Structure 1
Amino acid sequence: MMLEDSSITFDELVGYKLSTRLEFADRMLDDLFTAVDHYGSQKAKEARAVLEEWDREANTDSRGTLLFYLWASRFNINDPANYSVKWNREHPDTTPDGFSDPLRAVQLLEATVDEMQARFGRLDVPWGDFYRLRQNGRDFPANGATEGLGVFRVAHSYDSRDGKQMYVGSGDSWVGIIEFGENIKANVLLSYGNATQNNSPHNGDQLELFSKKELREAWFTPEQVKKHTVRTEVFTQKGVEEYLHKR
Protein backbone atom coordinates (compact mmCIF):
# COMPACT_ATOMS: atom_id res chain seq x y z
CA MET A 1 0.00 0.00 0.00
CA MET A 2 2.83 2.38 0.82
CA LEU A 3 4.60 1.66 -2.47
CA GLU A 4 1.46 2.62 -4.35
CA ASP A 5 1.12 6.00 -2.57
CA SER A 6 3.84 8.62 -3.05
CA SER A 7 2.44 11.01 -0.44
CA ILE A 8 0.83 9.73 2.75
CA THR A 9 -0.90 11.94 5.29
CA PHE A 10 -1.16 11.11 8.99
CA ASP A 11 -4.80 10.04 8.67
CA GLU A 12 -4.06 7.97 5.57
CA LEU A 13 -1.32 6.10 7.43
CA VAL A 14 -3.73 5.37 10.28
CA GLY A 15 -6.17 4.00 7.71
CA TYR A 16 -3.47 1.82 6.15
CA LYS A 17 -2.45 0.37 9.51
CA LEU A 18 -6.04 -0.45 10.45
CA SER A 19 -6.88 -1.89 7.02
CA THR A 20 -8.40 -5.36 7.14
CA ARG A 21 -8.24 -5.93 3.39
CA LEU A 22 -7.26 -9.53 2.64
CA GLU A 23 -4.60 -9.51 -0.07
CA PHE A 24 -4.94 -13.27 -0.46
CA ALA A 25 -8.58 -12.83 -1.43
CA ASP A 26 -7.62 -10.27 -4.06
CA ARG A 27 -5.02 -12.71 -5.36
CA MET A 28 -7.13 -15.87 -5.53
CA LEU A 29 -10.85 -15.10 -5.83
CA ASP A 30 -10.78 -14.55 -9.59
CA ASP A 31 -9.25 -18.02 -10.03
CA LEU A 32 -11.75 -19.53 -7.60
CA PHE A 33 -14.70 -17.97 -9.44
CA THR A 34 -13.40 -19.30 -12.76
CA ALA A 35 -13.04 -22.77 -11.26
CA VAL A 36 -16.57 -22.63 -9.83
CA ASP A 37 -17.92 -21.70 -13.29
CA HIS A 38 -16.14 -24.71 -14.76
CA TYR A 39 -16.62 -27.35 -12.07
CA GLY A 40 -19.03 -25.98 -9.55
CA SER A 41 -22.22 -27.47 -8.24
CA GLN A 42 -25.17 -25.40 -7.09
CA LYS A 43 -23.61 -25.48 -3.62
CA ALA A 44 -20.39 -23.90 -4.88
CA LYS A 45 -22.34 -21.30 -6.85
CA GLU A 46 -24.18 -20.25 -3.69
CA ALA A 47 -20.84 -19.74 -2.02
CA ARG A 48 -19.60 -17.72 -4.99
CA ALA A 49 -22.62 -15.43 -4.72
CA VAL A 50 -21.71 -14.63 -1.09
CA LEU A 51 -18.06 -14.06 -1.95
CA GLU A 52 -18.95 -11.79 -4.87
CA GLU A 53 -20.91 -9.52 -2.51
CA TRP A 54 -18.18 -9.62 0.15
CA ASP A 55 -16.05 -6.50 0.69
CA ARG A 56 -12.90 -8.67 0.92
CA GLU A 57 -12.19 -7.22 4.34
CA ALA A 58 -12.22 -8.63 7.85
CA ASN A 59 -14.36 -6.02 9.56
CA THR A 60 -16.85 -6.88 12.27
CA ASP A 61 -19.75 -6.60 9.82
CA SER A 62 -18.05 -8.23 6.82
CA ARG A 63 -20.15 -11.07 5.40
CA GLY A 64 -18.03 -13.56 3.50
CA THR A 65 -14.87 -13.39 5.59
CA LEU A 66 -15.76 -16.49 7.58
CA LEU A 67 -16.60 -18.45 4.44
CA PHE A 68 -13.31 -17.46 2.83
CA TYR A 69 -11.33 -18.05 6.03
CA LEU A 70 -12.63 -21.59 6.46
CA TRP A 71 -12.04 -22.37 2.78
CA ALA A 72 -8.48 -21.00 2.97
CA SER A 73 -7.85 -23.12 6.07
CA ARG A 74 -8.86 -26.24 4.15
CA PHE A 75 -6.88 -25.18 1.09
CA ASN A 76 -3.65 -24.83 3.10
CA ILE A 77 -2.35 -21.53 1.79
CA ASN A 78 1.23 -22.27 2.90
CA ASP A 79 1.70 -25.32 0.64
CA PRO A 80 3.56 -24.28 -2.56
CA ALA A 81 2.18 -27.33 -4.36
CA ASN A 82 -1.30 -25.80 -4.34
CA TYR A 83 -0.36 -23.01 -6.78
CA SER A 84 0.23 -23.04 -10.52
CA VAL A 85 2.58 -20.06 -10.10
CA LYS A 86 4.88 -20.62 -7.16
CA TRP A 87 6.24 -17.98 -4.79
CA ASN A 88 9.01 -15.92 -6.39
CA ARG A 89 11.09 -13.55 -4.30
CA GLU A 90 11.59 -11.36 -7.39
CA HIS A 91 7.82 -10.84 -7.62
CA PRO A 92 6.53 -10.85 -4.03
CA ASP A 93 3.43 -8.78 -4.79
CA THR A 94 2.09 -11.07 -7.54
CA THR A 95 3.08 -14.59 -6.42
CA PRO A 96 1.99 -17.22 -5.62
CA ASP A 97 -1.02 -17.31 -7.91
CA GLY A 98 -3.43 -19.71 -9.63
CA PHE A 99 -4.49 -23.22 -8.68
CA SER A 100 -2.47 -26.29 -9.55
CA ASP A 101 -5.72 -28.25 -9.08
CA PRO A 102 -8.81 -26.06 -9.68
CA LEU A 103 -11.20 -28.98 -9.14
CA ARG A 104 -9.80 -29.56 -5.65
CA ALA A 105 -10.26 -25.85 -4.84
CA VAL A 106 -13.95 -26.11 -5.74
CA GLN A 107 -14.40 -29.33 -3.81
CA LEU A 108 -12.91 -27.66 -0.75
CA LEU A 109 -15.36 -24.79 -1.20
CA GLU A 110 -18.25 -27.24 -1.30
CA ALA A 111 -16.97 -28.89 1.87
CA THR A 112 -16.75 -25.46 3.49
CA VAL A 113 -20.39 -24.80 2.59
CA ASP A 114 -21.36 -28.05 4.31
CA GLU A 115 -19.35 -27.05 7.40
CA MET A 116 -20.90 -23.60 7.62
CA GLN A 117 -24.43 -24.88 7.16
CA ALA A 118 -23.85 -27.48 9.88
CA ARG A 119 -22.21 -25.09 12.35
CA PHE A 120 -24.05 -21.82 11.66
CA GLY A 121 -26.98 -22.57 9.37
CA ARG A 122 -25.95 -19.87 6.87
CA LEU A 123 -23.07 -18.72 4.67
CA ASP A 124 -23.08 -14.97 5.32
CA VAL A 125 -22.22 -14.90 9.03
CA PRO A 126 -20.82 -11.46 10.04
CA TRP A 127 -17.14 -11.85 10.88
CA GLY A 128 -17.53 -10.18 14.29
CA ASP A 129 -20.20 -12.68 15.34
CA PHE A 130 -17.57 -15.41 15.00
CA TYR A 131 -14.30 -13.56 15.69
CA ARG A 132 -14.26 -12.08 19.20
CA LEU A 133 -12.17 -10.02 21.61
CA ARG A 134 -12.61 -11.40 25.11
CA GLN A 135 -10.64 -10.43 28.20
CA ASN A 136 -11.34 -9.68 31.86
CA GLY A 137 -15.12 -9.82 31.49
CA ARG A 138 -15.14 -7.78 28.28
CA ASP A 139 -16.44 -9.23 25.01
CA PHE A 140 -16.42 -7.34 21.69
CA PRO A 141 -16.61 -8.26 18.00
CA ALA A 142 -13.15 -8.43 16.48
CA ASN A 143 -11.70 -7.29 13.19
CA GLY A 144 -8.53 -8.43 11.48
CA ALA A 145 -7.36 -11.96 10.71
CA THR A 146 -4.33 -14.23 10.64
CA GLU A 147 -1.36 -12.82 8.74
CA GLY A 148 -1.33 -15.64 6.17
CA LEU A 149 -4.40 -14.08 4.55
CA GLY A 150 -2.36 -11.00 3.71
CA VAL A 151 -3.81 -8.57 6.21
CA PHE A 152 -2.01 -5.74 8.01
CA ARG A 153 -4.48 -5.88 10.91
CA VAL A 154 -3.05 -9.12 12.30
CA ALA A 155 -5.22 -10.88 14.87
CA HIS A 156 -4.42 -14.53 15.58
CA SER A 157 -7.04 -16.62 17.33
CA TYR A 158 -7.90 -19.79 19.20
CA ASP A 159 -11.08 -21.90 19.16
CA SER A 160 -13.83 -21.66 21.71
CA ARG A 161 -14.92 -24.89 23.34
CA ASP A 162 -18.15 -25.12 21.36
CA GLY A 163 -16.53 -24.24 18.02
CA LYS A 164 -19.06 -21.45 17.43
CA GLN A 165 -16.55 -18.64 17.93
CA MET A 166 -12.85 -17.87 17.89
CA TYR A 167 -11.09 -15.47 20.25
CA VAL A 168 -8.18 -13.20 19.38
CA GLY A 169 -5.15 -14.16 21.45
CA SER A 170 -2.24 -12.39 19.75
CA GLY A 171 -1.29 -10.12 16.88
CA ASP A 172 -1.55 -6.34 16.95
CA SER A 173 -0.36 -5.33 20.40
CA TRP A 174 1.24 -1.88 20.61
CA VAL A 175 0.55 0.38 17.63
CA GLY A 176 1.86 3.91 17.26
CA ILE A 177 1.40 6.41 14.44
CA ILE A 178 3.67 9.37 15.23
CA GLU A 179 4.18 12.67 13.41
CA PHE A 180 7.25 14.53 14.62
CA GLY A 181 7.45 18.30 14.60
CA GLU A 182 7.17 21.33 16.87
CA ASN A 183 4.02 19.76 18.25
CA ILE A 184 4.13 15.96 18.31
CA LYS A 185 0.99 14.23 17.06
CA ALA A 186 0.58 10.59 17.98
CA ASN A 187 -2.23 8.06 17.97
CA VAL A 188 -1.50 4.81 19.78
CA LEU A 189 -3.13 1.67 21.12
CA LEU A 190 -2.08 -1.10 23.48
CA SER A 191 -4.79 -3.52 22.46
CA TYR A 192 -5.00 -5.62 25.63
CA GLY A 193 -4.60 -2.64 27.99
CA ASN A 194 -1.87 -1.33 30.25
CA ALA A 195 -2.44 -3.78 33.11
CA THR A 196 -2.82 -7.51 33.67
CA GLN A 197 -4.23 -7.45 37.21
CA ASN A 198 -7.81 -8.74 37.16
CA ASN A 199 -9.03 -5.94 39.40
CA SER A 200 -7.47 -3.18 37.33
CA PRO A 201 -9.81 -1.05 35.20
CA HIS A 202 -7.05 -0.93 32.59
CA ASN A 203 -7.03 -4.69 31.98
CA GLY A 204 -8.66 -4.88 28.56
CA ASP A 205 -9.95 -1.30 28.61
CA GLN A 206 -8.64 -0.63 25.07
CA LEU A 207 -10.32 -3.64 23.45
CA GLU A 208 -13.38 -1.59 22.58
CA LEU A 209 -11.19 0.84 20.61
CA PHE A 210 -9.64 -2.15 18.82
CA SER A 211 -13.14 -3.41 17.99
CA LYS A 212 -14.11 0.00 16.58
CA LYS A 213 -10.82 0.29 14.62
CA GLU A 214 -9.85 3.39 16.57
CA LEU A 215 -6.64 4.59 18.20
CA ARG A 216 -6.27 6.84 21.22
CA GLU A 217 -4.30 10.06 21.60
CA ALA A 218 -0.91 9.71 23.26
CA TRP A 219 -0.24 12.00 26.22
CA PHE A 220 3.05 13.89 25.94
CA THR A 221 2.75 17.30 27.58
CA PRO A 222 2.78 17.88 31.35
CA GLU A 223 -0.75 19.24 31.06
CA GLN A 224 -1.99 16.08 29.35
CA VAL A 225 -0.29 13.82 31.89
CA LYS A 226 -1.64 15.81 34.84
CA LYS A 227 -5.16 15.74 33.44
CA HIS A 228 -5.15 11.95 33.28
CA THR A 229 -3.17 11.17 36.43
CA VAL A 230 -5.04 8.86 38.81
CA ARG A 231 -2.34 8.25 41.42
CA THR A 232 1.18 9.52 42.07
CA GLU A 233 3.82 7.46 43.88
CA VAL A 234 7.22 8.81 44.91
CA PHE A 235 10.02 6.31 45.54
CA THR A 236 12.92 7.52 47.69
CA GLN A 237 16.22 5.68 47.98
CA LYS A 238 15.29 4.66 51.52
CA GLY A 239 11.89 3.44 50.40
CA VAL A 240 13.39 1.35 47.59
CA GLU A 241 15.94 -0.18 49.95
CA GLU A 242 13.20 -1.11 52.42
CA TYR A 243 11.12 -2.62 49.62
CA LEU A 244 14.04 -4.70 48.35
CA HIS A 245 14.87 -5.82 51.88
CA LYS A 246 11.30 -7.11 52.38
CA ARG A 247 11.54 -9.11 49.20
Structure 2
Amino acid sequence: MLVESVSKLPWNECPSQRGITVQVFVEWVSKCAWNPQLAQKLKVNAGHEPGTDIGPVISRRAKQRILDLIESGVREGATLELDGRKVSVPGYEGGNFVGPTLFSGVTTDMQIYTQEIFGPVLVVLEVDTLDEAIALVNANPFGNGTGLFTQSGAAARKFQSEIDVGQVGINIPIPVPVPFFSFTGSRGSKLGDLGPYGKQVVQFYTQTKTVTSRWFDDDSVNDGVNTTINLR
Protein backbone atom coordinates (compact mmCIF):
# COMPACT_ATOMS: atom_id res chain seq x y z
CA MET A 1 0.00 0.00 0.00
CA LEU A 2 2.88 2.37 0.69
CA VAL A 3 4.37 1.68 -2.73
CA GLU A 4 0.96 2.35 -4.27
CA SER A 5 0.64 5.62 -2.39
CA VAL A 6 4.00 6.79 -3.68
CA SER A 7 3.12 5.92 -7.27
CA LYS A 8 -0.48 7.17 -7.42
CA LEU A 9 0.00 10.58 -5.84
CA PRO A 10 0.17 13.59 -8.19
CA TRP A 11 3.38 15.13 -6.90
CA ASN A 12 2.40 18.71 -7.59
CA GLU A 13 -0.43 18.47 -5.04
CA CYS A 14 -0.32 18.87 -1.32
CA PRO A 15 -1.17 15.36 -0.01
CA SER A 16 2.52 14.43 -0.18
CA GLN A 17 2.42 15.43 3.42
CA ARG A 18 4.16 14.95 6.67
CA GLY A 19 2.39 12.46 8.87
CA ILE A 20 2.39 8.71 8.72
CA THR A 21 1.67 8.11 5.06
CA VAL A 22 3.22 9.07 1.76
CA GLN A 23 6.10 11.41 2.59
CA VAL A 24 6.78 10.18 6.11
CA PHE A 25 6.27 6.63 7.33
CA VAL A 26 6.47 6.02 11.08
CA GLU A 27 7.18 2.40 11.91
CA TRP A 28 6.28 0.94 15.30
CA VAL A 29 5.91 -2.41 17.11
CA SER A 30 7.79 -4.54 14.57
CA LYS A 31 10.78 -3.21 12.67
CA CYS A 32 11.39 -4.50 9.17
CA ALA A 33 14.36 -4.66 6.82
CA TRP A 34 13.54 -2.33 3.96
CA ASN A 35 13.50 -3.95 0.54
CA PRO A 36 13.47 -1.32 -2.22
CA GLN A 37 12.75 -3.84 -4.98
CA LEU A 38 9.00 -3.12 -5.08
CA ALA A 39 9.58 0.60 -5.49
CA GLN A 40 12.28 -0.08 -8.09
CA LYS A 41 9.61 -1.70 -10.27
CA LEU A 42 7.63 1.54 -10.53
CA LYS A 43 7.74 2.87 -14.09
CA VAL A 44 8.87 6.47 -14.49
CA ASN A 45 7.66 8.01 -17.75
CA ALA A 46 5.60 10.81 -19.27
CA GLY A 47 2.18 10.90 -17.68
CA HIS A 48 0.32 10.14 -20.93
CA GLU A 49 2.38 7.04 -21.70
CA PRO A 50 0.67 3.68 -20.99
CA GLY A 51 1.80 1.94 -17.82
CA THR A 52 3.31 5.02 -16.21
CA ASP A 53 3.46 4.90 -12.40
CA ILE A 54 5.39 8.11 -11.76
CA GLY A 55 5.29 11.12 -14.07
CA PRO A 56 7.43 14.27 -14.06
CA VAL A 57 7.30 16.98 -11.42
CA ILE A 58 5.86 20.36 -12.33
CA SER A 59 9.02 22.27 -13.31
CA ARG A 60 12.81 22.18 -13.53
CA ARG A 61 12.94 24.32 -10.41
CA ALA A 62 10.77 21.81 -8.54
CA LYS A 63 13.03 18.96 -9.66
CA GLN A 64 16.14 20.77 -8.46
CA ARG A 65 14.51 21.47 -5.10
CA ILE A 66 13.73 17.76 -4.68
CA LEU A 67 17.29 16.79 -5.66
CA ASP A 68 18.69 19.30 -3.17
CA LEU A 69 16.53 17.85 -0.40
CA ILE A 70 17.63 14.31 -1.25
CA GLU A 71 21.24 15.47 -1.09
CA SER A 72 20.56 17.09 2.28
CA GLY A 73 19.23 13.79 3.59
CA VAL A 74 22.43 12.03 2.59
CA ARG A 75 24.54 14.83 4.06
CA GLU A 76 22.64 14.83 7.37
CA GLY A 77 23.10 11.10 7.90
CA ALA A 78 19.91 9.38 6.72
CA THR A 79 20.30 6.05 4.93
CA LEU A 80 19.43 6.27 1.24
CA GLU A 81 17.82 2.89 0.57
CA LEU A 82 16.75 3.77 -2.98
CA ASP A 83 18.14 6.65 -5.05
CA GLY A 84 15.94 8.15 -7.77
CA ARG A 85 18.14 11.10 -8.70
CA LYS A 86 19.68 9.66 -11.86
CA VAL A 87 16.57 8.25 -13.50
CA SER A 88 16.57 8.49 -17.30
CA VAL A 89 13.45 8.33 -19.45
CA PRO A 90 14.13 7.45 -23.13
CA GLY A 91 12.57 9.99 -25.45
CA TYR A 92 12.15 12.49 -22.61
CA GLU A 93 15.75 13.06 -21.58
CA GLY A 94 15.03 16.73 -20.86
CA GLY A 95 12.02 15.97 -18.67
CA ASN A 96 11.70 16.87 -15.01
CA PHE A 97 11.78 13.31 -13.71
CA VAL A 98 12.73 12.03 -10.28
CA GLY A 99 12.59 8.32 -9.58
CA PRO A 100 11.20 6.69 -6.44
CA THR A 101 13.46 7.46 -3.49
CA LEU A 102 13.48 5.88 -0.02
CA PHE A 103 15.24 7.04 3.15
CA SER A 104 15.48 5.18 6.45
CA GLY A 105 17.12 6.25 9.70
CA VAL A 106 15.50 9.68 9.49
CA THR A 107 15.26 12.03 12.48
CA THR A 108 12.95 14.98 13.04
CA ASP A 109 15.70 17.59 12.69
CA MET A 110 16.55 16.60 9.10
CA GLN A 111 15.39 18.78 6.22
CA ILE A 112 13.77 15.81 4.48
CA TYR A 113 11.43 15.64 7.48
CA THR A 114 10.91 19.33 8.23
CA GLN A 115 10.35 20.35 4.59
CA GLU A 116 7.50 19.21 2.34
CA ILE A 117 9.33 17.52 -0.52
CA PHE A 118 6.54 17.41 -3.13
CA GLY A 119 8.22 14.52 -4.90
CA PRO A 120 8.33 10.69 -4.94
CA VAL A 121 10.43 10.51 -1.78
CA LEU A 122 9.47 8.42 1.25
CA VAL A 123 11.24 8.99 4.56
CA VAL A 124 11.02 6.47 7.39
CA LEU A 125 11.16 7.21 11.12
CA GLU A 126 11.07 4.51 13.79
CA VAL A 127 9.33 4.57 17.17
CA ASP A 128 8.63 1.88 19.75
CA THR A 129 4.94 2.41 20.57
CA LEU A 130 1.72 3.75 19.11
CA ASP A 131 1.76 6.50 21.75
CA GLU A 132 5.16 7.61 20.49
CA ALA A 133 3.92 7.58 16.90
CA ILE A 134 0.92 9.75 17.81
CA ALA A 135 3.13 12.15 19.77
CA LEU A 136 5.54 12.41 16.84
CA VAL A 137 2.79 13.34 14.39
CA ASN A 138 1.13 15.75 16.83
CA ALA A 139 4.44 17.55 17.41
CA ASN A 140 4.65 18.44 13.73
CA PRO A 141 3.33 21.94 12.93
CA PHE A 142 1.39 20.64 9.93
CA GLY A 143 -1.83 18.62 9.97
CA ASN A 144 -2.86 17.84 6.40
CA GLY A 145 -3.36 14.09 6.54
CA THR A 146 -2.13 10.95 8.25
CA GLY A 147 -2.96 7.27 8.35
CA LEU A 148 -2.57 4.07 10.33
CA PHE A 149 -2.11 0.56 8.94
CA THR A 150 -3.41 -1.98 11.45
CA GLN A 151 -5.70 -4.94 12.02
CA SER A 152 -6.45 -3.74 15.56
CA GLY A 153 -9.73 -1.90 16.01
CA ALA A 154 -8.56 -0.65 19.41
CA ALA A 155 -5.40 0.84 17.91
CA ALA A 156 -7.41 2.46 15.12
CA ARG A 157 -9.90 3.97 17.57
CA LYS A 158 -7.10 5.33 19.77
CA PHE A 159 -5.27 6.76 16.78
CA GLN A 160 -8.22 8.54 15.19
CA SER A 161 -9.28 9.94 18.56
CA GLU A 162 -5.90 11.23 19.76
CA ILE A 163 -4.26 12.32 16.52
CA ASP A 164 -4.34 16.09 15.88
CA VAL A 165 -4.65 15.95 12.10
CA GLY A 166 -7.66 16.92 10.03
CA GLN A 167 -7.72 14.05 7.51
CA VAL A 168 -7.22 10.54 8.88
CA GLY A 169 -7.01 7.25 6.99
CA ILE A 170 -7.25 3.76 8.46
CA ASN A 171 -5.54 1.26 6.14
CA ILE A 172 -5.75 3.95 3.44
CA PRO A 173 -2.45 5.06 1.87
CA ILE A 174 -3.62 8.57 0.95
CA PRO A 175 -6.23 9.91 3.41
CA VAL A 176 -8.04 12.22 0.99
CA PRO A 177 -11.84 11.75 1.08
CA VAL A 178 -14.25 11.94 -1.84
CA PRO A 179 -14.94 15.49 -3.12
CA PHE A 180 -18.24 16.13 -1.34
CA PHE A 181 -16.41 16.07 2.00
CA SER A 182 -14.74 19.33 2.95
CA PHE A 183 -10.97 19.67 3.17
CA THR A 184 -10.23 19.35 6.88
CA GLY A 185 -6.47 19.84 7.11
CA SER A 186 -5.62 21.43 10.46
CA ARG A 187 -2.97 23.61 12.09
CA GLY A 188 -0.33 24.68 9.52
CA SER A 189 -2.23 22.85 6.78
CA LYS A 190 -5.56 24.63 7.28
CA LEU A 191 -6.89 26.64 4.33
CA GLY A 192 -8.96 29.14 6.30
CA ASP A 193 -12.25 29.81 4.52
CA LEU A 194 -11.14 27.90 1.39
CA GLY A 195 -11.46 24.39 2.82
CA PRO A 196 -15.22 23.86 3.24
CA TYR A 197 -17.38 22.59 0.39
CA GLY A 198 -21.15 22.15 0.00
CA LYS A 199 -23.32 22.69 3.08
CA GLN A 200 -20.30 23.37 5.28
CA VAL A 201 -19.26 26.41 3.25
CA VAL A 202 -22.81 27.80 3.53
CA GLN A 203 -22.67 27.31 7.29
CA PHE A 204 -19.21 28.90 7.42
CA TYR A 205 -20.56 32.14 5.95
CA THR A 206 -23.84 32.04 7.86
CA GLN A 207 -24.56 33.83 11.14
CA THR A 208 -27.28 31.91 12.92
CA LYS A 209 -30.13 33.73 14.66
CA THR A 210 -32.51 31.97 17.06
CA VAL A 211 -36.03 33.41 17.51
CA THR A 212 -38.36 32.05 20.21
CA SER A 213 -41.99 33.25 19.92
CA ARG A 214 -45.51 32.60 21.24
CA TRP A 215 -48.87 33.91 19.99
CA PHE A 216 -52.27 34.33 21.71
CA ASP A 217 -55.91 34.75 20.78
CA ASP A 218 -56.96 38.41 20.85
CA ASP A 219 -59.46 37.84 23.68
CA SER A 220 -56.74 36.45 26.00
CA VAL A 221 -54.59 39.56 26.06
CA ASN A 222 -54.92 42.78 28.06
CA ASP A 223 -54.31 46.04 26.25
CA GLY A 224 -53.11 44.04 23.25
CA VAL A 225 -50.14 42.45 25.07
CA ASN A 226 -49.72 39.26 27.12
CA THR A 227 -46.65 39.37 29.35
CA THR A 228 -47.21 36.16 31.33
CA ILE A 229 -44.51 33.51 31.38
CA ASN A 230 -46.87 30.56 31.88
CA LEU A 231 -46.28 28.33 28.88
CA ARG A 232 -49.44 26.23 29.33
Larger proportion of helix:
1
Highest RCO, 1 vs 2 (Cα 8 Å, sep ≥ 6): 2
Question: Smaller-chain TM-score range?
Answer: under 0.3
TM-score (norm 1): 0.23
TM-score (norm 2): 0.24
Q: Which has the larger radius of gyration?
A: 2
